[in-house]
Amino acid sequence: MPTLRIPKVWDYQRELIYAKTRFCYIAGGRRSGKSLASMFRQCLFAWESPNTNHWTIDQTHGEVSKWFRYALMLLPRDGVRKTDKTEKRIELANGSVWNFRSAEDPTKMRGSGLHSVVGHEVAYWPKESWTSLRPALSDYLGWAVLNSTPRGAKNWFTEEWNYANGWQDDGTWASSRRAFHWPTAINPTILPVEVEDARRTLPDATFRQEYLGEFVSDSGSLFHFPASAWAGRFELPQPNGRYVAGYDLAKKRDYTAWIILRVDTLPWRVVDCGRMQQIDYSSQLGVLASKFKQYKILVGLSDQYQEMVTEQLLERGVDVQTYPLSATSRATLLMNLAVAGEQNQLLIPGKDTQRQQEIDVLRSEVENFTPNVSRMGTVRYEAAHGHHDDYVFALAMAVEAGKRHAPLGSRESFAYLSVGGRGRRF
């Protein structure tokens, strides 16, 4: 056999690669090196163990293809006897077989006995994929490395990691377990300033999960506004005030909602809000145009799929614009709102004897807005079951409008993300 050369690894990765433990679980931040270390361990083992059988598994077929190509780059050409690009299968010169599969369909996790399994981002797998796969390791007492960025605090990977973390080693290979925890900063190639910038610009729960690799409770909202954020009050328009608005038009059972935000003060203040349901568009346009003119808003912002309404508001003399709402920009829009709220950059009415119902609805929407992760790992940003999200998107649009039209030259600044990945300071 030719010589296998593994790229440079760090000490913490080497500890996993050579760990004499059957089941290893890595809870890691993004870019912590957990996936590569897992691959290197499996590659070395397959190379040094003739006539053995190995699986590498990831969430989707696209990710599986990536690891298949990477394995071919690692292996010396004359150490590979045969490859099948369709089946994602590599047969080594020593008779070992390395397969690459997706966890999307649990029924395809069944197979012949395995000597090793590497699972990537397993917190986003269906639990059934692991329960179908686990028996395949029994024939040869095969080992497994399961790595993932955490996904909340209530899923099967969290349970397995916690069990391994409390494991008392009795020297028995069959039951041996070990839990590793690698935050992003453990990787020497990641600059500390990058981690600190993420800490500053991301919601606390998101930063702790994605960068610190922590199992953050997934019960509750994306938004965690402090109590002080709900100490504002409604205000009539002031001659020297600068106002922007965000609005979200009704879809099916939803409401049309608007938020008016004053942006010449710090923190920015929600001074007016409202909702409408089962009212024809002509009447809704009249209400929005009247409100926006009353506060002389600098701009009103809504998503780009409501161009007809935008055009009609423009015809009524209201300056409105659209926001390109896609899967990526939707997440950015909501993350910016989360950061603004957590960092005391927003003041929202909390009590008003005449309008308490609207305040309660607004607060309920904010506190029950929960990202929903699908079985395939995609994230949908929407209201929890039984709740609406009209006010949430209206508020997020208002914050985005404020970033575009807040007074320049202030010593105060708002840190936020942009759709293109670059921030600005006001």
Q: What is the pLDDT of residues 336-384, one digit of tens each?
A: 898 899 888 999 999 998 999 889 989 988 887 876 554 444 556 666 5
Per-residue pLDDT, 379: 56
d(CA 406, CA 307): 24
Looking at domain 11-204, which CATH architecture does it have?
3-Layer(aba) Sandwich (3.40)
CA angle 267/272/278 to nearest 5° reads 140
Pick the CATH number of 220-405 from 3.30.420.240, 3.40.50.2000, 2.60.200.20, 3.40.50.1000: 3.30.420.240
Per-residue pLDDT, 410: 40
What are the b/e assignments for 357-391, b being 16+ CB within 10 Å? ebbebbbbbbbbbbbebeeebeeebbbbeebbbbb
What are the tens digits of pLDDT across the range 278-315? 667 777 888 899 999 999 999 999 887 767 778 888 88
Per-residue pLDDT, 346: 94
Whether residue 203 contacts residue 50, with contact meaning beta carbons closer than 8 Å, is answered with: no
Listed in order, the ranges of the chain carrying CATH 3.30.420.240 are: 220-405
Per-residue pLDDT, 47: 95
Average pLDDT, the chain: 86
Low-confidence residues of the chain, pLDDT below 50? 219, 252, 374-377, 408-413, 415-426
Per-residue pLDDT, 221: 65
d(CA 333, CA 418): 8
d(CA 178, CA 24): 5
Per the listing, tokens 């949430």 go with 392
CA distances from residue 249 to 258, 399, 419 in whole angstroms, order as listed = 9, 17, 22
Listed in order, the ranges of the chain carrying CATH 3.40.50.300 are: 11-204
